[in-house]
Structure 1
Amino acid sequence: MKNIVLLLVGFLPFLMFAQPKNGMRAIGFTLLNPEGEMVALDDYKGKVILLDFWASWCGPCRKENPNIVEAYEKYKNSKFTDGKGFVVLSVSLDREEQPWKDAIVKDKLNWEGHVWDKSKEITRKYNVRSIPHSFLIDGDGKIVAQGDALRGIGLHVEIEKLIK
């Protein structure tokens, strides 16, 4: 019995920080947007969500932003099998507020969903170890794709799978 307890205690840190898997329910959170208002993942319930972790100082993130803008414009009014509309919720890992806000404008990230994970609490909960990193969440709140599968044309392929 003692060995089982020690084994469980040994694996606990790995279980606590395991990245959410496809098919799992997305982890809820509430963070501040650029206007200082609280935004929750649940605010987008019933929609297909691209949860995108990024930062203004991240070259690959900034390079991927035009693809995300294109996907948003293409799919924002689409009808999905289990969701109504497509939204992007961008989670910034920036250390400073102004570069984040400037990048939103410069990269023309024209969706409402921008939040700042200043404390990195949500980044840790999702076990994001490098950026850019995205999660595609269906209208039922389940993760259906993530990571490199959502970069470039892969983002469009995964979104198309969810359209009616």
Structure 2
Amino acid sequence: MYNKFKDHNFTIIGISLDRQENKAQWLAAVKKDGLPWLQLSDLKFWDNSAAKLYGVRAIPQNFLIDPDGNIIGKTLFGKGLEAKLTEILTQGAESN
């Protein structure tokens, strides 16, 4: 989805729930997987501040957050995620 929508006011931020002792493995996995978007972690495992803020109870998890900080979708994968992104990101283009 990143490659398809990155030029349409869309980005991804990856939040890792790794522990401090797994930092090297986490960074190696990001590199190996070739993830071009921003990757963040406070290395506090389930005590991660972003996970607490958004009530993450399982991973993987995702949230679509609009420019005003509102959650407009969550736990979307595959075709469901693609459909929601198409809907959201083409609304403005249709009115122009």
TM-score of the aligned structures, taking structure 1 as reference length:
0.49
Q: Find out whether 1:73 has 2:3 as its counterpart.
A: yes
Higher relative contact order (CA 8 A, sep 6+): 1
In the aligned structure 1, how far is the partner of 2:65 from the partner of 2:51? 16
Based on CA coordinates, which of the two structures has the bigger radius of gyration? Answer: 1
In the aligned structure 1, how far is the partner of 2:13 from the partner of 2:39? 6
Q: Within 5 Å, which residues of 2 pair with 1:88-107? A: 88-95=12-19, 96-107=22-33
**RMSD between aligned residues:** 1.2
TM-score of the aligned structures, taking structure 2 as reference length:
0.80
Q: Any stretches of 5+ residues in structure 1 without a counterpart?
A: 1-70, 79-84
Instruction: Give the structure with the larger helix fraction.
Output: 2
Counterpart AA for 2:40: V
Identity %: 36
Partner of 2:88: 162
Post-superposition shift, 1:135?
0.3
Partner of 1:143: 71
Counterpart AA for 2:69: G
Post-superposition shift, 1:139?
2.1
In the aligned structure 2, how far is the partner of 1:153 from the partner of 1:107? 21
Counterpart AA for 1:104: V
Instruction: Give the structure with the larger strand fraction.
Output: 1
Counterpart AA for 1:142: N
Structure 1 moving runs of 4+ over 2 Å: none
